[in-house]
Chains A and B, each alone.
Chain A
Amino acid sequence: MTSEGSLHFTAYEADYQAVLSRAQGTVASLPPALRNLAEPFLVPWGAASFSRIVALLPFWVAELLDRALPRGADLRIPQPGDTETLALANLLGWWSYLVQDGLLDGDLDPGEFLPLPMALHASAVSLLAQLLPSDQAFWRTFERLSLVSSEASAREQRLRLEYLKKRKTLDPGLAEPDRLADRSALLQLAVTAQFALCGLDQECHLYAALCEMLRHYAVARQIADDRSDWVQDLQNGQLNHVSARIARRMLETGAMGSLAELDVERMMGYYLHDAELFASIQQQAMDACQRAAQAVAPYRSRTLDSLVSELAHELERNYQAALGSRRPLQAVFTLRSDGSAYDLSRP
């Protein structure tokens, strides 16, 4: 997704560059063995759109808090620089997650890279501890969300093909969108820290609305990600949400007898054939976008509205482009779009 020109990014480009520069400085200050592992990734990490999102979220929320909440004796004004420090903690936390994800996907060698996410995570936690040393409510939430995120990683192991093929059946929950919402833990943590910094209660309606928005945004975004890389993931031996949906559907329709038959070529052939499944995955992502937008609609945040709206447009553009490619392909192979038949013999 190339969205650096969007409203939610352009107005905050200087803030992002400042945070990015501090993050690069943090990596540069790591012991050489760790620094050397991280440095080759700094450019792609810095350019990734999700790095921008996690780093800029505190700035967007700060603007929203400033505008949406009435000034009162209980509202603390964060110190200058606190928002940037929080953004830095988010960015380092996200990079730690990226390395863990690379380890889980088999893209990175655990023997070499295992210490790196721990170092990045420690840097992020250290920053949060400076900002919120004694806020017990925040640290309780930190523990809870860390466990949610860890559990989601543990579940990913159950999407490894080698694990699934031994069991031959698919846990129906593995293809449920709710499981994707756990990926929003880091974003929710960022909002929780920001509310704690301002002395705001987690019972506040705006807090619930932001967490709700981030949960649905994470679902939509993850479906978009998984739709674009399910083949590559599967070739690496891992089902993601989209391929889990395809596998479940193939089992349900009898196109596949058991998970022992899982095969990326067959799944691609099936996916092209099943127009209903293709449309249903898109609908699920668009529903999530709509719920994300609705959650924060009363607060009229231009940046958050722009973030969600851009994702919805991107999803629709990619869907229409994929539809456009599927139709001639189905005609090429004379597949019928209602999914009722395969037939190579008809012109």
Chain B
Amino acid sequence: MARQDLERLIGRAVLDPTFREKLFADPEKAIREAGFDLTAEEMAGLKKLDPQESRDAVESLAALDAQPWGG
């Protein structure tokens, strides 16, 4: 997978809650639907991830980035 595609995949997982849910529920389908081109090895790596741990990490980061400072 090209570097820019991986950046985009990670960025989308942080920024798009719908994609995030799909990614951790069914990585293969989410990747295919989004049009990312992962190698078999990369897909195997993605499937090894713990869905809950991954979701928690991404969501906590997404929440931090959305934290308002108070104007």
Contact = CB atoms under 8 A, between A and B. Distances in A.
Given A225-B69, A344-B1, A344-B45, A269 B7 contact: yes
* Interface residue range, chain A: 35 or more
Contacts of A321: 64
A268 B71 contact: no
Contact of A332 (B12, B15, B58): B58
- The majority secondary structure among interface residues of chain A is helix
A329 B57 contact: yes
Interface string B29-71: 0000000001101101110110001101110110011111111
Contacts of B14: 268-269, 272, 329
Interface string A200-242: 0000000000000000000001001100111110000000000
Contacts of A48: 70-71
- The majority secondary structure among interface residues of chain B is helix
B4 to A, nearest CB: 6
Given A322-B61, A328-B53, A332-B57, A229 B7 contact: no
Contacts, number: 117
Interface string A124-137: 00000000000000
Interface string A306-330: 0000000000001001101110110
A273 interface: yes
A228 B71 contact: no
A340 to B, nearest CB: 12
A97 to B, nearest CB: 11
Interface in A236-283: 255, 261, 263-270, 272-273
A171 B66 CA distance: 27
B58 A347 contact: no
Interface of B: 1, 3-4, 6-12, 14-15, 38-39, 41-42, 44-46, 48-49, 53-54, 56-58, 60-61, 64-71
19 contacts: A1-B69, A2-B70, A228-B67, A255-B3, A265-B8, A265-B11, A265-B12, A266-B4, A266-B7, A269-B10, A326-B61, A328-B57, A329-B58, A332-B49, A332-B54, A333-B10, A342-B7, A344-B42, A345-B44
Interface of A: 1-3, 44-45, 48-51, 98, 221, 224-225, 228-232, 255, 261, 263-270, 272-273, 318, 321-322, 324-326, 328-329, 331-335, 342-347
